[in-house]
Structure 1
Amino acid sequence: MSLTYLDLFSGAGGLSLGFDYAEFRQLLSIELEPVYCETYRVNFPHHRVLQQDLTQLSNEQASLYRSDIPNRGIAGVEE
């Protein structure tokens, strides 16, 4: 059985790269920001990535749910 992951707030995919190297199988990556989605698609053309609000996520099964806290400085969100 292969281990799988769902990547939330995926950004450009830095942590996805680590999971790929560890031989996890990516199910889905979700990122809201268009520029990060474009970069992710260039970095991982074989991955499924959605530009979508996380609250619209359906129930998919995964061995690991990986999430990164959005970086407020980079994302342009004021504290």
Structure 2
Amino acid sequence: MTPDVVRVRPLPDYQLEAEFATGEWRVFDMRPYLAYPAFAALAEGSLFMKAHVVLGTVAWTDEIDISPDTLYLCGLPV
């Protein structure tokens, strides 16, 4: 089981820098995901920069979020 996200920083070029409950930081590239309908709205305007943590998960709206498993397993250690 992967740890929860405790802090997130949206970065330019659709990157997320996430801190996990273990104290580890990972950088995750969201660009490939923007082609999927579930994340397409993040490519428009400033919505992507509104990323925040909700119950250990990174979310943008009530309908758009990404699992901590994906961020941890596919993110690059900082």
TM-score, with structure 2 as normaliser: 0.29
Structure holding more helix per residue: 1
Report the structure, 1 or 2, having the larger strand content. Answer: 2
TM-score (norm 1): 0.29
Give the number of the structure whose alpha-carbon radius of gyration is greater. Answer: 1
